[in-house]
């Protein structure tokens, strides 16, 4: 009788008494799939300020060790040094033909130099643009080749000066455009700096000077990763600029720490190398000996600056890789770089 009643209930009410003893398994909630990020990966914040400082120190020391372990990259130091010398010589010649003092405010020039091309004239601006463009193009091309070589080495491949230069052959057009923009900005900066000086070479309008310095610093900071984006990501110039601005907003702390450390290293090197110069030069009591020692000091400083440019190029590559992937590149350990852009 009970069985007959349960069958009637199951038939008309669709209820099963055995279901009371069995727990009902609820379906798991649907999890929305996050959208695929099309922009650069966001690196984690680490431990706030201490994390940024730690990453900056690791990148700086790792870049130095990386250069020591891959000494063939010193060829880029030589070439970048030659570009710096070209820039120094061409800028000096531009000052001479415009009648400007080579050492403003130092009192080394007792009489005004003859003016061949008036400063601020159309010819002078054209020459300044040409000099700035050539210097910027050579610098950016060598930096791009250095970044390409570093990425090859980090990914476990062999890299030479020739392979690095050949790898950036496809980036010539955007590099030329970027060099032209940098030349215009650099020439405008030079014009503003000169407009802030008096005829004696002293600063008259500090507002213009500080404004020009702030603009130049912001421009080069926000465009720090343009060349890596052109080389490693294959972006066009507009996309590279946008990505550089985005990466700098995420990595500004690491960038500042790296440059502060490099500044302290250069300052310490200047002080350390100046001690023997003072001791030897002044103890000799000869002007010729003092001049020779000072020339040797300048040579050592130039060599350190040339090597420093290569180290900074390695650091920029590491910063770009970390900003793109969120994975810290172990430069000092020589591990493979975990990014498909390499």
DSSP state letters, 156-220: T----HHHHHHHTGGGHHHHHHHHHHHHHHHHHHHHHHHHTB-TTS-B--HHHHHHHHHHHHHHH
Q: What is the pLDDT of residue 295?
A: 81
State the pLDDT confidence band at 226, using cuts at 50, 70 and 90: very high
**Tens of pLDDT along 106-118?**
444 445 567 777 7
Beta bridge partners of 197: 203
**d(C-alpha 161, C-alpha 312), whole Å:** 17
Of 323, 280, 234, the C-alpha closest to 45 is 323
CB atoms within 10 A of CB 81: 17
* Out of 17-31, 55-69, 124-138, least confident range: 17-31
Band of pLDDT at residue 186, cut at 50, 70 and 90: confident
Q: Is residue 196 within 8 Å of residue 206, measured between CB atoms? A: yes
Q: Are 55 and 322 in contact (CB under 8 A)?
A: yes
* Cα gap 178→226, rounded to integer Å: 9
Tokens of residue 70, six digits: 């891959």
CA atoms within 13 A on the CB side of 241: 10
pLDDT single digits (tens) 32-41: 333 333 344 5
- Please tell me the predicted confidence (pLDDT) of residue 43: 55
pLDDT score at 84: 92
CA distance 260 to 284: 36
Backbone angles phi, psi at 196, to 5 degrees: -85, -5
Q: Residue 42 has what pLDDT?
A: 52
As a whole-number percent, the residues of the chain with pLDDT over 90 amount to 29
Model pLDDT for residues 142-160, shown as the tens digit of each residue: 999 999 999 888 888 888 8
Strand extents, DSSP E, the chain: none
Supply the pLDDT for residue 241.
93
- Distance, in Å, from the CA atom of 169 to the CA atom of 233, rounded to the nearest integer, reads 14
- CA-only gyration radius of the chain, Å: 30
Most confident of 44-53, 227-236, 264-273: 227-236
Tell me, what DSSP letter sits at residue 18?
A: G
Q: Look-up: residue for tokens 């279901």?
A: 19
pLDDT band at 83 (very low <50, low <70, confident <90, very high): very high
């Amino acid at each position: 009788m009970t069985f007959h009643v349960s069958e009637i209930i199951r038939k008309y009410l669709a209820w099963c008494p055995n279901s009371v003893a069995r727990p009902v398994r609820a379906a798991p909630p649907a999890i929305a799939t996050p959208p695929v990020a099309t922009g650069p990966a966001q690196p984690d914040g680490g431990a706030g300020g201490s994390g940024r400082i730690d990453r900056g120190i690791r990148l700086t020391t790792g870049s130095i060790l990386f250069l020591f372990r891959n000494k063939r990259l010193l060829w880029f130091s030589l070439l970048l040094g030659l570009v710096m010398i070209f820039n120094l010589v061409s800028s000096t010649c531009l000052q001479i033909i415009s009648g400007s003092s080579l050492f403003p405010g130092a009192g080394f020039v007792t009489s005004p130099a003859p003016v061949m091309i008036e400063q601020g004239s159309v010819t002078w601006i054209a020459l300044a643009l040409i000099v700035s463009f050539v210097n910027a193009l050579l610098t950016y091309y060598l930096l791009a080749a250095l970044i390409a070589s570093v990425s090859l080495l980090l990914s476990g491949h062999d890299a030479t000066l020739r392979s690095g230069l050949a790898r950036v052959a496809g980036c010539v057009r955007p590099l030329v455009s970027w060099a032209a923009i940098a030349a215009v900005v650099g020439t405008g900066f030079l014009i503003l700096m000169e407009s802030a000086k008096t005829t004696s070479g002293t600063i008259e309008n500090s507002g213009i000077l500080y404004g020009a310095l702030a603009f130049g610093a912001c421009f080069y900071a926000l465009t720090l990763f343009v060349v890596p984006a052109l080389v490693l990501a294959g972006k066009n110039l507009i996309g590279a600029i946008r990505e550089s601005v985005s990466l700098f907003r995420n990595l500004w702390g690491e960038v500042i720490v790296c440059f502060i450390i490099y500044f302290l290293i250069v300052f310490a090197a200047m002080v350390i190398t100046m001690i023997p110069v003072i001791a030897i030069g002044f103890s000799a009591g000869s002007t010729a000996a003092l001049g020779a020692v000072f020339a040797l000091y300048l040579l050592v400083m130039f060599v350190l600056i040339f090597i420093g440019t290569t180290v900074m190029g390695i650091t920029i590559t590491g910063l770009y890789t970390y900003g793109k992937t969120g994975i810290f590149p172990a430069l000092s350990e020589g591990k493979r770089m975990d990014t498909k852009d390499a």
